[in-house]
Structures are given as structure tokens and as C-alpha cells.
Chain A
């Protein structure tokens, strides 16, 4: 299932938290060879994890991490503006309606639908909170994955070549794209919506019960 968890609530999901940071080490350090810091517990964390980001996580049936991404407002410190201004023509992309999406991660043995499910979740956040675009940093390998799930970003700028090519891109999300991604994720839109409601609100029954007379 999809979970939406702020950093300061991750401790309520210890297994999910641990496996997410382990999978991030596996993806970014071991497989991609990025220059990221892996701590003594084998977990990859950076300074942006300390800013209480909103994590969107695909949880496998056994409660472990299947895939995730990390969201932060672009009005505060974020990777694109702190480290990749050279890829955006020097434009500091900063808007209350643009959030940054980074550390898009898939565990080695996750279900094939995971990437699409995460994109679907990104759409829920946009609809639910009035977000217009995401910006994010991604590498060459992800380009193919994004294309496969039908959610290719618009590339704002790139550096490096081949496998080492790093880009800053942006996503918008139309209703049609949403339906297409849902289909690729094999998830009904209602289910996705339900998970979002579960994270950020109550069920319709609860709402009815607590309505003030």
C-alpha cells in the first residue's frame, strides 16, 4: 500500500523506516555509485532528511519498503536550489506551488508496479494540496523508468553523459496522465484516493459522525 509519512512520524513505522534507508543506500551507493553518505547502520541519509520532509512510500505486504520518494517545499532549502542551479539556467525555482521530489528509490525485489504507484501518489498530493509542479533531480537510469510508467519529466537541464548524466526535471500531472499511471500501477483510482485519505484525514463515515449539528 501507499503511505504518506512526515519525517517526524517515521518512528511509528520502524520496519518501514529502517528498510527505506537501507534500500536508499543500496540504490544510490551500491548500484548507482553516487557520492552519498551511508552511516554505521548501513542507512543513507542526508541533510534534507533532517528537514522533516514528506515521504511517499510503497509498503510491501510484509511491512518493508518497496519504493519511495521524498517531498520538500521549494521555498525552503532543497537540492535543486542548493546544488543544481547550474542546470536551471541559474533560476532558483521557488514557489509555494512547486515541491521538490528527490531520492526516488526502488528496492531490488519490489513489485514491478511500484514506480507507477509512487507516481500515482505524487498525483494525489498535487490534487490534495494544490501543488502545480514537482521539480527533481534524477539520473539517466530513471529516464527509462519514468518513460515506462508514462510519466516522463520535462528536462530543464542536464550535465554529464551516458550513465552518469544527471538532470533536473519537472513534472506536471494531468487527469489523463493520472488515469494512465493508475492503469500501469494496476490500482483503481479509488484505492489510491483511499490511501491518501487514510494518511491525511478520516474516512467519510468518521467525517459524518463528527459533523457538528
Chain B
């Protein structure tokens, strides 16, 4: 199952055009076994781009009625950075309630989990999984998949930004020499204690270096991070 997740992330990494993201998000939706997955980008200028598995009818309806103004997911996530279970949003006002029942009638589902993403220069995006199920089932799903969904959300946004015209290359993702050292030694099969010892750092510090490298590499776990670092030629073992 993890392998499938890694394979989809690899496809995302390799995607050459914006259109490819649509197939990838559909594959992710199938893989996670939820009703829908959606990526929704809003630029500082208010331009929107999205891909996902909502029906065309709902997307049309959403744009036509300018639901971006009442959608509690947008309102509740804008300018924030913590992931949100839809249950925690404010659905109390009349407009939000009628929006919700309409969304449900279009098959969006009664549950949702959204990761807000703050991109560079005021860019903002949301990555959402939605589903129809009980609260218990949903909270089990989000607990079990939260960290992977957060990672995938940011990887999606990174890819979408790549296709933006005139975009500046991202420097913050380069691995520092210490991160390269840590990942190299892990790849060589040394234990964490041995690696920490050989780099003269504590195991806690090593954990943070590895976590940071994992995130920069867009990897789901340490093994995946090692594989990605090797395939990109960042480390040589």
C-alpha cells in the first residue's frame, strides 16, 4: 500500500504539464478510498485553478454562485496553516448551511479534511479529501493518514507552482551538507545511534535533520527519502 503511495508521488514528480495533475489526483482518490480529492489554488490576485474529482456540475455551480465567498473551508483556512477537519469549521450561519446541504446533494460527502498551504508571495492553496461516512470512521481515517496527506498536499502545490510562468527556482529545498551526510550514512545501513555518533550530534538532532531532509525530498518516510536522494544523485553510496 505504501508502495502505491510512493509510486503516485513519483508520477507527480515526473509530471510535465498541468493536465497530468488531474489523473494523479484521481489515482490518489482511488488509492485512499475516499469519495473525493481536490486541489484548489488561489493566487494573491484572486485567480483560481483547481483539479480534482468533484463533478463538473458542482464545479460549475460553485464558480457560478461564487461560493468561494461563503464556503467555510475557504473562509476557515485562508491565511492559516493548520490542517482542518470540516467538522471544526463554522457552519452555523444560514448561507454556510445551505451551501453545505447543496454540496452534499452534489455528492461531496458529509466529511472533509483540508490542508491549507501558504505558498510564496501570497499564493494560497487547499488540498482536500472528502467522504461520506460516520464521524468515527472519518476520524480514524484522518488520524491514520494525516501526515501523508499533509505531505502530498505540499507536493501537489510545489508541482503546480512549477508550471507557473516566470517562477523563481526554489532554493529552500536544497539539502545542506549535514543532511546529505545523515541520509548517506542511513543509506549505508548504519543505525541511528551510529550515525549520530559519527556526526557528533545527539539522536534527537539527527531525527530533526532526517525529518527536514525527508520533507525537502517530498518523501513519505526515511526509506523513501533515501530512495529519492539516491535516484536524484544527491547521495552516492
Interface residues of A (CB under 8 A from B): 6, 8, 52, 54, 72-76, 81, 89-98, 125, 128-130, 132-133, 135, 154, 156, 170, 172, 200-202, 207, 210-212
Contacts and interface: CB of A to CB of B under 8 A. Distances in A.
Contact of B135 (A76, A135, A207): A207
B178 A95 contact: no
A201 to B, nearest CB: 3
Interface string B76-101: 00011111110110011000000010
A90 B178 contact: yes
A130 B145 CA distance: 10
Contact of B177 (A90, A94, A202): A90
A97 B215 contact: yes
Contacts of A132: 211
B101 to A, nearest CB: 8
B205 interface: yes
Interface in B59-86: 79-85
A91 B179 contact: yes
Given A90-B177, A210-B91, A98 B211 contact: yes
Contacts, number: 99
Contacts of A156: 205, 208
Interface stretch (B5-13, B40-48, B147-155): B147-155
8 contacts: A73-B118, A89-B176, A91-B176, A133-B207, A202-B87, A210-B91, A212-B104, A212-B110
Contacts of B177: 90
Nearest to B132: A212
Contact of B172 (A72, A94, A212): A94
